[in-house]
Amino acid sequence: MRLLDTLTDSLVELPPPPEPIGIYVCGPTVYQRAHIGNARPFVVFMWLARWLRARGHDVRLVHNITDVNDKIYEAAPGRSAARAREATAWYLEDTEGFGLGMPDAQPLATETIPEIISMIEELLASGHAYTVDGDVYFRVARFAGYGALSGHRPDQVEEQEPSPAKEDPRDFALWKATKEGEDTSWETPWGVGRPGWHIECSAMAAKELGPEFWIHGGGVDLVFPHHENERAQSLSVGHPFARIWMHNGLLRFTGEKMSKSLGNVATIREVLDEWGAETALVFFLTAHWRKPIDFSEQTMAAAAAQWRRLSEVTVADEHPPSPSWDEFVACLEDDFNTPEALSILHRWHAAGVADLLERGLDVFGLPTPTRVHKAHVSFGMRFEDAVPGEMSRKVPAHVVELLEQRLEARRRRDYATSDELRARIQAEGFEVEDTPDGSRLVIRERE
Ligand SMILES: [Zn+2]
């Protein structure tokens, strides 16, 4: 399997199974209900983990939660820890709603403080960091590879976190001394404060996956400065860190006002309530994970229509030519191309290949489609001559008898008898649809 790596801008081959694959994905900062764009990395990397597991890899997916941050202090002055706990619970409940299961670990920054402090101590001891008035900064000039991930020339990196106390405008905070109004803090050898955002992820990734792992994921908006800084910190303490950097494209809100609580965006909860998990998953399948995806009433309605089609498959005994399972696998092995895989699902649907469609949908956590069996019996035609093989096993002889009596009644235009016979057939669990030249017996079954 090959995945596009941001650092080398090339496709990198994963090793064959059962090589363990560790995946670290940057999660949300928790201070309000997460919007649907936050769900994209969750869904993409849950799918990837499911797929790698199905290939036989031993996968460990880590999706962190940033629960100490400026945004949380601002959102809930004086009660930031309580707000972070509450918003973490919302996030877990909302993402669980996709029905994809949950990551193997969802570490909290606030539960990784000892590891964060010891990593900063290491960076201070090696001269990669320095303290100023209780703050600790990373010394960008000490890390030769700075800018490699984001494509910045090291001498042209813009200033981050402006502060006159820094040695170099490019330096970024590893630790921030407590300011007025900040109610969550920890003691350290250099003063009371809280961690910077970037060091949290370096520490959580090492704690959960060790110093080296296969895949680091997150939205493309995190490449700079967040991931550039994570990489600088981790490599500076001697960790080889991620072998592949995967950056998902962003979700763009292109429609009108969509949310009561967030204005022009919609929360995960609102999307799941309004459209359902299946439609939301089909929506995410429509775009390649590296590309942007447009969210609007129209794109969601289109996804809903796709799901309605896929969720019911007319079983056929003989299939017109359609893609093989190997072709479906090939799409996913080639940089996890879900739009291509989705088009194969539609071709299986059109060809009535229920078993492959079911297996393909399951890869993305979509439920088994309802199998629809149909037999079209024309006037004067025997039922046995009209039924596909799969269906003949499912229709008892006495129902066939009733159907044939009803056809005979319709031919005579004896509609009273015809209606009575329809009711008896329905009572046996079968549907009848009338057409100008006969009737169709329909069985819908969820297997
Ligand atoms: Zn991160």
pLDDT score of 447: 56
CA of 297 to the centre of ligand 1 (A): 31
The partner residues of 438 in beta bridges, in order of sequence, read: 378, 435
Burial class (CB in 10 A: 0-12, 13-18, 19+), 341: buried
CA of 331 to the centre of ligand 1 (A): 29
CA of 26 to the centre of ligand 1 (A): 4
**Segments of 189-268 assigned E as strands:** 193-195, 212-219, 241-248, 251-253
CA of 379 to the centre of ligand 1 (A): 68
CA–CA separation, 132 and 215 (whole Å): 34
Q: What is the mean pLDDT of each run of 10 residues along the chain (447 residues)?
A: 98 97 96 93 98 97 94 90 94 97 97 97 98 96 95 82 88 94 91 96 98 98 96 98 97 70 79 97 98 95 98 88 97 98 97 95 97 91 87 91 94 95 95 93 84
Q: How many CB atoms lie within 10 A of CB 233?
A: 28
CA of 118 to the centre of ligand 1 (A): 18
CA of 334 to the centre of ligand 1 (A): 26
CA of 245 to the centre of ligand 1 (A): 12
CA of 74 to the centre of ligand 1 (A): 20
Count the alpha carbons within 13 Å of 444 in the hemisphere toward its beta carbon: 8
The strand order across the sheet containing 312-314 reads 312-314, 370-378, 438-446, 431-435
CA of 130 to the centre of ligand 1 (A): 22
Q: Which residues lie closer than 8 Å to 186 by C-beta, 6 or more apart?
A: 113, 117, 192, 193, 194
CA of 227 to the centre of ligand 1 (A): 7
CA of 279 to the centre of ligand 1 (A): 29
pLDDT score of 154: 79
CA–CA separation, 13 and 18 (whole Å): 14
440: three-class secondary structure by DSSP: strand
**Segments of 57-191 assigned E as strands:** 59-63, 129-132, 135-138, 172-177
CA of 65 to the centre of ligand 1 (A): 9
Instruction: Name the residues around ion ligand 1, CB cutoff 5 A.
Output: 26, 201
CA of 186 to the centre of ligand 1 (A): 20
CA of 219 to the centre of ligand 1 (A): 10
Q: Dig out the tokens for 418 from the structure.
A: 């015809």
Q: Dig out the tokens for 186 from the structure.
A: 């920890």
**Residue from 153, 146, 151 nearest 172 by CA:** 146
**Residue from 88, 287, 120, 283 nearest 195 by CA:** 120
- Which CATH code is given to the segment(s) 2-248? 3.40.50.620
pLDDT score of 157: 80
The whole model's pTM is what?
A: 0.93
CA of 33 to the centre of ligand 1 (A): 19
- Integer CA distances (angstroms), 30 to 14, 36, 275, in order: 33, 14, 24
CA–CA separation, 140 and 209 (whole Å): 25
CA of 24 to the centre of ligand 1 (A): 8
Q: Which residues lie closer than 8 Å to 348 by C-beta, 6 or more apart?
A: 313, 322, 323, 356, 357, 360
pLDDT score of 259: 52
CA of 158 to the centre of ligand 1 (A): 20
**Residue from 286, 300, 290 nearest 338 by CA:** 286
- Integer CA distances (angstroms), 363 to 58, 201, 291, 360, 398, in order: 17, 29, 21, 5, 40
Q: What is the pLDDT of residues 81-105, one digit of tens each?
A: 999 999 999 999 999 999 999 999 9
CA of 177 to the centre of ligand 1 (A): 21
CA of 259 to the centre of ligand 1 (A): 27
**Domain coordinates of the chain in residue numbers?**
2-248, 370-446
